[in-house]
Structure 1
Amino acid sequence: MRIRPRTRAVGRGPRGALPACVALALLSVVAACRVDLAPPGAPTIWPAASAGRWQWQWQLSGVLDPAVEADVFLLDPVATTAAQTAELRSRDRRLVCHVHVGSVLPTDPDTDRFPATVRGAGSRRPQSRWLDVRQWDSLRPVLADRFRLCRGKGFGAVALADADGYAHRSGFPLGFDDQLRFNRRLAELARSLDLSPGLVNNLAQVAALAPDFDFAVNEECVRLDQCARLLPFVEADKPVFHVEYSGSPTDFCVTTVGYGFSSIRKERELDAWRIPCPAP
């Protein structure tokens, strides 16, 4: 039977802090058995026995906090320095590179490399544009270099964001199969560059893409009542890294840990603050 979380406020404080006793209980996580990291130049491995036990952090803004008690860090490859990734690797942290593969911002260092013909309507990020994922020959060189930047900075995995332009008003007549082909090509490209590929959101294609990807990253499946759609990853003993931006961890953790997810509570700006769900 599926347990639905109650929609209760997180608690007092500007960050929605939990009462001290509850927060301490959540932070007192039983550490999962660690396995050795893959050496630099090799893709990150995700042992099946550890699925659902990873503690993770997703930070895309603010000053990076390397002391967060997490096994996995999902970070911006441009803002994160090689020195920071080296420090995290010295702490046996797994590093996942956050790459927007289906959209481009005018402030991206490689914006000018995307021809005007592949830039479409406004994307979900302010000022960003969806990309025409059918034009693989134009996109592949730029995206390959984005992946190489990740590899060069010491990341062993890459999470593919905005890989669902077909489901939005992208400015192009993109179909389900166009997106599926593009995402599979990206997973293959990541592997060819010694990166473990992960899928961000795009729940409608999870069942089709779970065999091609090593892990999933999801936002707010509890609030949206969509967590069951991620089960193809769980059933394949692949990690699901999940975040909620509202609600009490004492409520939603019951659901997501039961599903086998690694879950945290974050603010939408994705700074260093987090409350993790306890590992099973």
Structure 2
Amino acid sequence: MRRLASAVVATLLTLTTLAACSDEPAPDTRWQPRPGLAWQWQLDGKVDPSVDVPVYDIDGFENTADDVARLHRDGRKVICYVNVGAWEDFRPDRRAFPRSVLGKPNGWHGERWLDIRRLALLRPLMERRFDMCRDKGFDAVEPDLVEGYGNDTGFPLTARDQLRYNRMIAAIAHERGLAVGLKNDLAQIPHLLDDFDFAVNEECAQYDECALLEPFISAGKAVFHVEYAQPTARFCPTARKLRLSSMRKNPELDTWRRPC
């Protein structure tokens, strides 16, 4: 909405003051991974630091501050994997989740979808998880299962519910100085590109969806991509053309990798 010049000046001064008082760091103080960075994704147990790549994505609960510090000493950036869309019965904070937010099993052992409409209940739980990532020294967060609205969760979730929740998750990360990646959720990339610092994708080549990730690349933001079934000869030419950070992994995400 256009306003008189004096009103515009007053508004800008107010916004400048509010920005100076904000707890959220300026965007350029966060790590911003650029397209083409090689990476390792290991969620199966404690990290093996022997892979010579600049980025590691590892489980936030199963790895310690010392593990993160060791990777930093080797010149790595480290992403903290955290499940934000499902309850896990094997996590130390499992009892903090009210039963009212637990939905149907999601197909992974010990996991149930969360009712992401319940922001007031879930926000403090996710804040504590992201506090853990920050306190262990991680540079970024990979929030998993941020597309529950497209699944049979047991709740009538909508695309709008998912956008609201995903933006909350991104804000929680940014308030702690952490970069944050959008995991899959390809349909909502046009709405969430400005909220997320990079993307993490599984099997876009398998489903002929990799072109949908191009907005991240055009914005100078990395796309960390894996395939599980396709051989590298089939997806790597496209991945190189699109400047994706691509590799083949075992579905259990152990240490094995075959990069493009």
Q: Deviations over 1:152-209 (max 9, x none)?
A: 1110100111111111111111100000011001101110011111111111111211
Query: Is the 1:43–1:157 Cα contact (8 Å) retained in structure 2?
Result: no
Q: Does 1:203 align with 2:186?
A: yes
SS in 2 for 1:271: coil
Letter in 2 for 1:211: D
Matches within 5 A, 1:229-240: 229-240=212-223
* Corresponding residue for residue 232 of structure 2: 249
Give the letter aligned to residue 45 of structure 1.
Answer: W
> Contact 1:95/1:157 (CA < 8 Å) preserved in 2?
yes
Q: In the alignment, is the contact (CA less than 8 A) between 2:86 and 2:114 conserved in 1?
A: yes
Three-state SS of the structure 2 residue aligned to 1:184 is helix
In structure 2, list runs of 5 or more residues that go unmatched.
Answer: 1-27
| CA shift for structure 1 position 123 | 1.4
In structure 1, C-alpha distance between the alignment counterparts of 2:44 and 2:110, rounded to whole Å: 18
Q: Report the TM-score, using the length of structure 1 for normalisation.
A: 0.80
- State the 1:63 CA deviation: 4.7
Aligned residue-pair number: 233
Q: Tell me the CA shift for residue 100 of structure 1.
A: 0.6
- The whole-number CA distance in structure 2 between the counterparts of 1:181 and 1:63 is 33
2:85–2:114 CA contact under 8 A, matched in 1:
yes
2:160 to 177, 192, 195: 177
Letter in 1 for 2:96: R
Give 4+ residue runs of structure 1 displaced > 4 Å after superposition: none
| Identical residues among aligned pairs (%) | 45
Deviations 1:67-115 (A, max 9, x none): 2011110000111121111110001101001111010111111111111
Task: State the shift of 1:44 in Å.
Answer: 4.4
* TM-score under structure 2 length normalisation: 0.86
Task: Measure the CA separation in 2 of the matches of 1:209 and 1:227.
Answer: 17
CA RMSD of aligned residues (A): 1.4
Q: Provide the C-alpha distance between the structure 1 equivalents of 2:40 and 2:125, rounded to a whole number of angstroms.
A: 27
**Structure with a larger share of its residues in helix:** 2
Q: Higher relative contact order at CA 8 Å, sep ≥6: structure 1 or structure 2?
A: 1
